[in-house]
Amino acid sequence: KIYELRAMGKTTRDERDFLNEFETARRLYEDGNFSDAHTAFLALQEQFPEDGPINTLLQRCEDYSKNPPADWDGIYRSTSK
C-alpha cells in the first residue's frame, strides 16, 4: 500500500474527486495499461503540476510505454539510487 499525507480533518468534495481520479490512474498503471494511465496522469498533472506522485508515475508510464517491462507485476523496482 502507498500512503500520501494530504490534509488533516475532513476532505472536501474536490479532494475526494482528486483521490478517486488518482486511484483510477494508479490502477491502470498497476495493471500495465501504461497508455491509458499516462492519459489519466496527464489530466491530473494539468490540475496539479507540482504533485510529486503524479509526476513520478507519469514519467514511469512514458518510459514503460517505450520499453514495456517483460514480467510486469505492478511493482516498480528502482535500478539506481
pLDDT above 80: residue 56: yes
**Residues 6+ away with beta carbon under 8 Å from 25:** 37, 40, 41, 44, 57
pLDDT of residue 2: 67
Q: How many CB atoms sit inside 10 A of residue 51's CB?
A: 17
37-64 average pLDDT score:
95
pLDDT of residue 41: 97
Cα–Cα distance for residue pair 36/47, rounded to 1 Å:
18
pLDDT of residue 8: 75
Cα–Cα distance for residue pair 68/73, rounded to 1 Å:
12
pLDDT, tens digit (0-9, with 9 covering 90-100), for 3-25: 777 777 888 898 889 999 999 99
Torsion angle in degrees (nearest 10) through CA of 52, 59, 47, 51 = 0
